[in-house]
Chain A
Amino acid sequence: MRVVDRIKGSVAYRSIFRLPDAVTERDRAAAHWSSFLLHLYPVKVRRRELRFGYSAFLGVASMVLFGSLIISGIYLMFFYVPSPANAYGNIQSIQTDVAFGQYIRNVHRWSAHLMVIAVAAHMAKVFYRGAYKPPKEFNWVIGVVLLVLTLLMSFTGYLLPWDQLAFWAVTVGTSMASYVPLMGETTKEILLGGPSVGSATLVRFYVLHVAVLPAIMVFLIALHMWRWRKDAMLTVDAAERSIAAEPVIEEVS
């Protein structure tokens, strides 16, 4: 008996993964449904979706980059205090004293830029495929919200190193808020926690960056994938879809 089979037959393995022996497709589908992670995926997809040209795997890329950002970001949080007195020095010591600090910071920075590109490209690809059409309209809307959240995540993170680049980029970015009609100055003060970028801004951006925005994003990504799974096997053909979009109401005579 092979080692793998012995592990799979063990009581402990069976208690964790409650899978039937994968003999038929039905068994494999059952295993799929009983897995917490796999249940975000449909059990079957059309063969066209396997091709690179269908999606260029940009949704997967966005997801992977988000994961990379969470892991590298949590590591950086151990060594960072969001106050003007500490922040810059913390970044310096992350780069020089912390084990793999420079590398992890690089991963976080470049993943963030790549994620903005990946999410935008994912959206363009979905547009050209026409995948926003009924019944997937609302999933497109969730996607647009996720794009905005990605930009906000990147922008709030931009301030945290508290160097000249961070300070002035955020000063320029938030100055636009003061042009909102009627409540411009109020909007700006809510964003900055004061008339200009300062210690209150740093705390606000930090809390948004590490808690509020990621929580909203995780929820919306789960919703986004769940709706994708639900719609995975829906009609592709225009004629079929016109029936699905406009249900025929039969007259009762």
Chain B
Amino acid sequence: MDDKEPVVIDNHRVLGVVPGKPAVGDRKVLSEDDTVMVWPHLLVRHAVAALLVLLLVMVISLLFDAPLREIANPTNTPNPEKAPWYFAALQELLAHFHPLVAGVLVPGAIIGGLIALPYIDRNLSLSPETRRVARVTFTVFLVVWIGLTLVGFAFRGPNWSWVWPWNEWHGEL
């Protein structure tokens, strides 16, 4: 051994360098199914999501005032008479079908169907390829429902006649 100056890192002398793997073993490659502590990993993300939602509410509330029309008057029926937007699809159906169908049977079937869904679809697989029937059925329902909601909300004017929303606006929030 020659008398070289010892290598010093942070006031500690390096006595030797050992070849091979670290004593604790290789660094583990984490998979998606490995677990992490909820605090902080999930809670931090939830906090950020919460702040973003609150920011959105704040911005919308600063920019747009909630609507307030003239005082309720039972003798003066507005035309068109519109339900809240989330019932616009039902109101649109009401224009085409008997009220028993549009007002009672369809909403009853939707709620009943959603409740029964996990007991009807007993396919245990989570992969999209093996769930084609369920996915297509649900997507068709979703598209039809959103379409009907849009039509009832924005495309209907006096006497429930068809209007183009860029010509006449009758949507109410």
Contact = CB atoms under 8 A, between A and B. Distances in A.
Interface of A: 25, 28-29, 31-32, 38, 41-50, 57, 60-61, 64-65, 68, 84, 88, 91-92, 95, 102-103, 105-111, 113-114, 116, 118, 123-124, 127-130, 132-134, 136-137, 140-141, 144-145, 147-148, 151, 154-155, 158, 161-169, 171-173, 175-177, 179-181, 196-197, 233, 236, 238, 241-242, 245
A49 B83 CA distance: 38
Contacts of B42: 41, 45, 49-50
Contact of B35 (A46, A84, A129): A46
B55 to A, nearest CB: 11
B31 A164 contact: no
Interface stretch (B4-12, B15-23, B61-69): B61-69
A31 B50 CA distance: 23
Given A47-B31, A128-B135, A161-B68, A141 B118 contact: yes
A10 B90 CA distance: 60
Contact of B173 (A29, A107, A113, A118): A113
Contacts, number: 209
A48 B74 contact: no
A43 B85 CA distance: 40
Q: Is the interface of A mostly helix, strand, loop or mixed?
A: helix
Given A38-B39, A163-B71, A181-B100, A103 B77 contact: no
B142 interface: yes
A167 B84 CA distance: 11
A235 B86 CA distance: 36
Contacts of B115: 141, 144-145
30 contacts: A25-B37, A28-B37, A38-B43, A41-B39, A44-B35, A45-B35, A46-B32, A46-B33, A46-B34, A47-B36, A48-B32, A48-B33, A57-B45, A64-B49, A92-B68, A106-B65, A109-B67, A128-B138, A133-B121, A133-B124, A164-B72, A165-B67, A166-B72, A168-B78, A171-B81, A172-B83, A172-B87, A179-B100, A238-B127, A245-B124
Interface in B75-127: 76-78, 81-87, 90-91, 94, 99-100, 102-104, 111, 114-115, 117-119, 121, 123-127
A184 to B, nearest CB: 9
A57 B32 contact: no
Given A29-B37, A50-B36, 12 more contacts: A28-B39, A47-B31, A57-B45, A95-B68, A132-B118, A133-B124, A137-B118, A165-B172, A167-B72, A169-B83, A176-B94, A179-B104
Nearest 9 Cβ contacts at the A-B interface: A176-B103, A167-B72, A137-B118, A109-B66, A106-B61, A57-B49, A179-B99, A44-B35, A48-B32
A106 B58 CA distance: 9
Given A110-B60, A110-B61, A241-B124, A154 B50 contact: no
B144 to A, nearest CB: 14
A57 B46 contact: yes
Nearest to A150: B86
B56 interface: yes
A127 B64 CA distance: 33
A89 B84 CA distance: 22
A20 B46 CA distance: 24
A49 B104 CA distance: 39
Contacts of B119: 137
